Structure 1
Amino acid sequence: MEFLLGVIVTILIIYLIIKVNLNKSNKATLIPFSTWLTKYESESDIGRHTLSRGLLVQTIHLAGKMRVISQEEKKELDRAMKKEDPIRVVNGWLEIALPEVIEFGGQNIVHTISARDAGLYMFISLQGVNPQRELKRFFERFEKNLAPHMREEETPLDRAKVLSEKLIVSGYRSLASQQEGVAPTESTTDKEIISIYRKVLSEFGEAARQRNEQLPAGTLNTIAWKFLQVNETLGPEMVDSHLSYEIEKYIQEGLRPEYNQELKLF
Structure 2
Amino acid sequence: MNKLAPFSLQGKSIFITGGSSGIGLGTCQRCLQEGARVIVADIQAPPQAVLDAGALFLEVDVTDRDRVIKAFQQAEGAVGKLHVIIHNAGKPGNGKHLTDSDEDVLDSVVDLNLYGTYYMLKYGPAHMLDGGSIINTASVAGLQQNEGFFDYSATKAAIISLTKTSAVELGMRNIRVNAVAPGPVRTPMLPPGHILNALAKNLSALGRIAEIDDLVGVYHFLASDESRYITGQTIIVDGGRLAGFRTQVLGRLAG
TM-score by length of 2: 0.29
TM-score by length of 1: 0.28
More helix by share: 1
Q: Larger RCO: Structure 1 or Structure 2 (Cα < 8 Å, ≥ 6 residues apart)?
A: 2
Larger radius of gyration: 1
More strand by share: 2
